Amino acid sequence: MVIAADRRLRRTRKRAGSTGAELWFGAALAFVLLALAALAPWVQTHDPMLGDLTLRFIPPGDAAHWLGTDNLGRDLWSRAVAGLAWSLACALTATLIAASIGTTLGLLAAERDGWVRAIVRQVVDLVLAFPGIVAAICVIAVVGQGFWPLVLTLGLLSWPVFARVVYAEALGILERDFVTAARLAGVNRLRILVGHVLPGLRTTLLVMLAFHFADMLIAESALSFLGIGAPPGDPTWGNMLAESRQFLFRAPWMLFVPAGAIVLAVVIANLLGDGIAVALRGGRDPD
């Protein structure tokens, strides 16, 4: 029994160590992406909107345009960095909007029984009944393109994911002894939710934020690719993908640069989410 316990302890330490490395690696890569987005005007080597028809279709590896140029002679590195700033800002803002609405309503439904809970659950089911991308297309087609219409559409259509998870987790926390003791001591409902229930949701919310950010990044790129997200011509990854379609065989790097950027950002977000999930659970793999 002692030997078996020692083996389990060693496996747990090994898993915790690898998870810590995964978390730090993901955090370091995320920091690099955020730094590139924040320093975009200084990191860009050329004006991302300015083209030169004499420099069309330069392949990657050129000294002045090391990721190549597109059909209008615009530098792909500069456009990819500008797209990073747009995509990160859009995905992060939409994620925070969804998390704020979903967490608030989820806590409210868990704490309030009766008609409040019934209304929140009905609204969640109603929003989830519509396919997200289709609903976003319909809304943006009506309100128009731009950063804030896109952000608000993505945030207001994706909050039920947070509401359902927070509701389920909060129900369990509200039944614990320390919450019961706080109620008996006369602590009001708001202080219980903010001071007792919300800290217990820390792990769940951090993991969901990372994964939801990746989903919003893909959704933003998809809508821009369809021509209803960012205004046409703006240097975003979705627009770059859309522009590369007709030049796929002549200049495939026009596709590989934005596609690779999207894949890299999504992998980093998921890597960070996995690392947070296991690290905050003391080295145990998430269920």
Q: pLDDT digits over 68-124, tens only?
A: 999 899 999 999 999 998 889 999 999 999 999 999 999 998 888 778 888 988 898
Interhelix angle 253-279/76-111, rounded to 10 degrees, is: 40
Residue 178 in tokens: 């320390």
- The pLDDT tens digits for 240-281 are 999 898 898 889 999 999 999 999 999 999 888 888 877 776
Categorize the per-residue pLDDT at 2 as very low, low, confident or very high, splitting at 50, 70 and 90: very low
Backbone angles phi, psi at 56, to 5 degrees: -70, 145
Q: What would you measure as the largest C-alpha separation in the chain, in angstroms?
A: 77
Between 7 and 115, name the one with better pLDDT.
115
More confident: 99 or 128: 99
Q: What is the pLDDT of residue 282?
A: 56
Task: Please state, in angstroms and rounded to a whole number, the distance separating the CA atoms of residues 65 and 58.
Answer: 8
Q: One-letter amino acid identity for 223?
A: L
Given CATH 3.30.300.130, say whether it is the number of domain 12-43+77-279.
no
Does the pLDDT of residue 63 top 50, yes or no?
Answer: yes
Q: How confident is the model at residue 26 (pLDDT cuts 50, 70, 90)?
A: confident
Query: In degrees to the nearest 10, what's the CA dihedral of 156, 157, 158, 161?
Result: 100
Q: Look up residue 169 and give its two tokens.
A: 């987790």
Q: What is the per-residue pLDDT across 171-227, written as a single tens digit (0 to 9) for each? A: 888 888 888 787 878 778 788 888 888 888 888 898 899 999 999 999 989 888 888
Q: 3-state class of 113 per DSSP? A: coil
- Whole-number pLDDT of residue 81: 92
**pTM of this structure:** 0.84
For the chain, give the mean pLDDT: 84
> Which H or E run contains 275?
helix 253-279
Task: Provide the token pair at 74.
Answer: 């615009």
Helices vs. strands in the chain: H and E counts, helices first:
12, 0
Neighbours of 4 (CB within 10 A): 8
